[in-house]
Amino acid sequence: MNTITVNVEEKLFQNRYRVDAGRPHIKIKDADVCTNVCVVKSCTFVCPASCYKVEGNGSVTLITDGCLECGSCRIICSDHFNVDWEYPRGGHGILFKFG
Amino acid sequence: MKKPTQFDAIVVGAGPAGNACAYTMAKAGLKVLQIERGEYPGSKNVQGAILYAKALEEIIPNFRDDAPLERHIIEQRMWLLDENSFVGTHVRSEDYNKPPYNRYTIIRAQFDKWFSAKVREAGALLICETTVKHLIMDGDQVVGVQCDREAGDVYADVVVLADGVNSTLARKAGFHPEIPAGNVALAVKEILFMPEETIRQRFNIGEESGVVMELVGRITDGMVGTGFLYTNKESLTIGVGCMLSDFAKNPNRTSPYALLEQMKRHPSIAPLIEGGEMKEYCAHLIPEGGFHAIPKVYGNGWMIVGDSGGFVNSAHREGSNLAMTTGRLAAQTVIEAKAAGRGYRADSLYTYKKALDASFVMKDLHKYRDLPGVLHKSPQFFTSYPDMVAQAARTMITVDGVDKKTKERAIFAHLRKTRKLTGLVGDAFKLWKAIR
């Protein structure tokens, strides 16, 4: 497939969120596992909201503000079980206008 | 120690399964509490979305009077696409244009709100903006739920889990393990708004009628999956979904949104969506493991309905109708158990499983039980075959001075090069066996 550059932030900008500031509903359990153990880091391209990013030093950062609450990241981390995944607090997170 | 029961039943989730379940129980006079984590029912829910009338008719026979329906479907298109072309079948009939219509496009946020209003009219109590954290156990019996609000423990005789594909509560309770990536599809979609008149002209449809399109081929970048395009009243829904395990191991590391964007730019698709104003981008998992992936769906004081139990017939792209039917059958189980005073242990709720087995839900899932496995091991159905068909059709149709016999030979030579004859025959047999 020809790689095309897509700015997912532009897509997410159309969505409505109520962010639970300071209380991310998904956490990386052990940052060291992402940096030094996991090679594929598939969360960094499978996440449909691009919440996971690889940094220059190989570490993976997670910002859940744009999360679509699909669950993919938790399921694909099946070698390391390194994703602590909960739904946001009631009323928070993505609020689909159309769904 | 068991706390005093406050409700006959608690339903977790206000999607099609939860709503069907809560509605049916409330209608029968049971005291029902329904808990939804979204701001309003539908705010966490994503679907294509096609509504099959029959399953809803069983619950609300006159739903057409006031349900928010977009368009009834009169035409189904199935396209095989290579890089620059498509070969398609279009099935359209005026028979589909006569009421009562069989299926409709819907917008879930609106539909779920409507369905939820019916549930509350029927007498159920709905609490929104509340996430259920855990099930409350008394020994081996589920006796209630723990919510994320003050004094958030609520008790009931039975808890129905309609909490969606991630099935968080049953997983935490140890009723079933994590769903493997090979048993779920990850789908992304967008809603594109455009004038009603434009949609009618582009798709050759009337004021109320609509078209659904299924797309197979190069658009999924070698992964097992399909694309779709549905006509709503004043918008189009366009999306693509592939097995999550395929996404995770895709050598191109293609992101779902890049896949969707690439599909939108396909020369056969771009003109259909041109000028559409994108108003929302969604992602969702679809449980596609089928019959063999259905977990245990009942136990002491609990039942699982809808996506949470993996009730999706991926071969026919049916989900919400299975959700509503499983919700209704679970509700009937509770109603009967209460009437008979036989309690809510597994040996009483077992009739839910019996009702599922006797319904189209398990019959259809059983019929296609081997299809997910076959397709999963045969990506050629989604890659080289659509390519071959599109190329063959293009070769035969192009008038370029080459005689037709030579063209046929070239097509078959290409076919044999792509896939050995034994492979072709084997694929045909596997597919036939899996869908017959």
The full set of domain ranges for chain B reads: 7-69+106-176+295-358, 182-287, 373-435
Determine which of B255, B277, B308 to mutate to test the interface with A (most A C-beta atoms within 10 Å). Answer: B255
How big is the CA angle at B410 (ends B408 and B412), to the nearest 5 degrees?
Answer: 70
DSSP symbol at A34:
I
Domain assignment present for residue A63? The answer is: yes
With CA atoms as reference, report the closest residue to B19 among B135, B129, B114.
B114
Domain assignment present for residue A44? The answer is: yes
Domain assignment present for residue A18? The answer is: no
CA dist A50 and B256 (Å) reads 10
For B184, which of A1, A45, A75 is closest by C-beta distance? A75
Going by their DSSP bridges, the two strands B277-287 and B184-193 should be labelled as: antiparallel
DSSP per residue, B359-382: SHHHHHHHHTTTHHHHHHT-GGGT
Determine which of A8, A81, A87, A95 to mutate to test the interface with B (most B C-beta atoms within 10 Å). Answer: A87
CA dist A25 and A89 (Å) reads 8
With CA atoms as reference, report the closest residue to A98 among B327, B279, B166, B148.
B279
Helix (H) or strand (E) holding B384: helix B384-397
pLDDT tens column, B395-412: 888 888 999 899 888 888
Task: Please name the amino acid found at residue A24.
Answer: P
Q: Does the structure show a pLDDT above 80 at B294?
A: yes
Q: Which residues 13-72 in chain A show a CB within 8 A of chain B?
A: 14-15, 18, 40, 42, 45-50, 68-72
CA dist B297 and B141 (Å) reads 15
Judging contacts by C-beta atoms under 8 Å, the chain A residues touching residue B147 are: 90
Inter-chain CB proximity B248 and A46 less than 8 Å: yes
Q: Helix B360-367 and helix B320-340: axis angle, to 10°? A: 130
Q: Does the structure show a pLDDT above 70 at B3?
A: no
What's the domain range around A69?
27-94
CA dist B262 and B240 (Å) reads 10
pLDDT at B417: 80
User: What's the predicted TM-score (pTM) here?
Assistant: 0.95
Q: Which fold has domain B7-69+106-176+295-358?
A: FAD/NAD(P)-binding domain (3.50.50)
A62: alpha, beta or left, given left = phi > 0 and alpha = psi -120 to 50? beta
Whether B7-69+106-176+295-358 and B182-287 share one fold: the answer is no
> What is the band of B388 on the pLDDT scale with cuts at 50, 70, 90?
confident
In chain A, how many domains are there?
1
Domain assignment present for residue A17? The answer is: no
Going by their DSSP bridges, the two strands B235-243 and B225-231 should be labelled as: antiparallel
Q: Which fold has domain B182-287?
A: D-Amino Acid Oxidase; Chain A, domain 2 (3.30.9)
> What is the band of A85 on the pLDDT scale with cuts at 50, 70, 90?
very high
Task: Compute how many other C-beta atoms are within 10 angstroms of the C-beta atom of residue B299.
Answer: 19
CA of A16: which chain B residue's CA is closest? B280
Inter-chain CB proximity B191 and A98 less than 8 Å: yes
pLDDT at B201: 98
pLDDT tens column, B113-170: 999 999 999 999 999 999 999 999 999 999 999 999 988 999 999 999 999 999 999 9
Q: Does the structure show a pLDDT above 60 at A2?
A: no
ipTM: 0.97
Mean per-residue pLDDT, B217-225: 95
Mean per-residue pLDDT, B413-422: 79
Domain assignment present for residue A76? The answer is: yes
pLDDT > 90 fraction of chain B, expressed in percent and rounded: 83
pLDDT tens column, B322-376: 999 999 999 999 999 999 999 999 999 999 999 999 999 999 999 999 988 888 8
Mean per-residue pLDDT, B95-113: 97
For A12, which of B258, B281, B284 is closest by C-beta distance? B281
CATH number at residue A71: 3.30.70.20
pLDDT > 70 fraction of chain B, expressed in percent and rounded: 99
DSSP per residue, B186-252: EEEEEEEE--HHHHHHHHT--SSEEEEEEEEEGGGTTSSEEEEEEE-SSEEEEEEEEEHHHHHT-TT
pLDDT tens column, A13-52: 999 999 999 999 999 999 999 999 999 999 999 999 999 9
DSSP symbol at B181:
G
Q: Helix B384-397 and helix B404-418: axis angle, to 10°? A: 170
CA dist B225 and B217 (Å) reads 9
Cross-strand partners of A17 = A94
Mean per-residue pLDDT, B105-117: 98
pLDDT at A88: 98
Torsion sign, CA atoms B204, B270, A13, A86: positive
For B244, which of A6, A14, A72 is closest by C-beta distance? A72
Domain assignment present for residue A57? The answer is: yes
Inter-chain CB proximity B129 and A90 less than 8 Å: yes
Domain assignment present for residue A5? The answer is: no
Q: In terms of DSSP H, where are the helices of B228-343?
A: 244-248, 256-264, 270-273, 320-340
Q: Are the C-beta atoms of B228 and B216 separated by less than 8 Å? A: no
CA dist A54 and B268 (Å) reads 35
Structure-block tokens of residue B329: 């059958």
For A98, which of B165, B253, B280 is closest by C-beta distance? B280
Determine the distance in angstroms separating the CA of B190 from the nearest CA of chain A, rounded to an integer: 9
Burial group, residue B131, by CB count within 10 angstroms (0-12, 13-18, 19+): buried
Judging contacts by C-beta atoms under 8 Å, the chain A residues touching residue B259 are: 1
Domain assignment present for residue A20? The answer is: no
CA dist B206 and B194 (Å) reads 15
How far does CA B183 lie from the centroid of its chain? 13
